[in-house]
Chain A
Amino acid sequence: MMLLSTRGLSKHFAGLQAVKDVDFDLPQGQVRALIGPNGAGKSTFVNMICGRIQPSSGTVIFDGRDVTMMPAHKRITLGMAYTFQITSVFARLPAGENVALAARRRLHDKSQVEKATHKALGQVGLLDRMDQEAGDLSYGHQRLLEIAMGLVQRPRLLILDEPTQGLSDNEITDFKTLIRALAGETTILLIEHNMSVVMQVADQVTVLNFGAVLAEGSPDEIHANRAVQAAYLGGDDA
């Protein structure tokens, strides 16, 4: 069953065609990586999926419902979660409160919120930073906090926009383990530049180039695909 589909999804900004006519299908439970050179339209594409940007044309179907006209916050309540590419935590609030805010939308009992907050912070290894102000965390830790805020919502579709940017090698290893542990239970759409992450965690990969789908397939197929190599990997593979 498809959890997420787009049909003919397009966006142009003042004459610039950022995303053209994308048909995209993401089955329930899959980990999908979305890759492509800078400016390929990846972020615009996921922003249309989660409702931060209105498409110029086309439809977004989530869990069998046409959500194209639905405001972002309603899509989130349907079970999407989005973590920002540019870290967007609540800098002046403690890390724990950041996660609790994300938890409170679905949980109303105080002790449940606390439990879910602890769990999510534990999953990303930030439990000991709970009382620290988010703005005081290192950049890598803020990225992990973003991920915890996504996890605690127990989304059906987790959209991660370049989650490993700025993480250390150890943190990236932990991140891969975390995503593999979530796979099957949560459907994940991952925009990622780090090819080792893509190769190891994704079930399927979609390549965008100039706003259109260039190729789609398993990580190995994509790795071997000439057109992708030409457009993106440039021979210098991971």
Chain B
Amino acid sequence: MKSEIIVVTGLPRSGTSLMMQILNAGKVEILQDGKRESDISNLEGYFELEAVKGIVSDNSFLKDAIGKAVKVVSPLPVYLDPKLNYRFIFMRRDIEEILLSQEKMLNKNQVSEREKFRTIYEFHLKKTYRFIRENNFPFIDVNYNELMSSPEVEIEKVMKFSAIENSIDELISVVNPELYRNRNEQ
């Protein structure tokens, strides 16, 4: 596990920040720079690394990520150096909820482009999965909706996958039902 990088991936607004908080609570070292501060959309912070945004032209930050967890939203994982070792935690969330959540965050009504974004995200997910499968990297899918409704099952899966030895309760406390907010909104 020490030679591996835990990559938390998924579409933006699929619970990737929440997963980073869970890993943080599980004492997994996080590679982040704290540049993106918490806001109304992510009260507990984003746990992001600015350098990830430039991964297309420069993925040298990966050498600092070994033995740590880093958030790389889909489809950027395809630009990871395939020679390194990774374990992927793939956050999944109902696409309708993701679209609504993004619209809310951007304060933008994108009803007229919803099919466009739905299709783009479908491609992003496919691309990321293809990269993971073609390189035989271990991965788990974590369903955001199930994580919120029955955190025990999903968190146990994450703990096993990420070799976290804390008590499960500490991690469950991270899952704040208040955050599960965008569903049924609109």
Q: Are both chains from one complex?
A: no
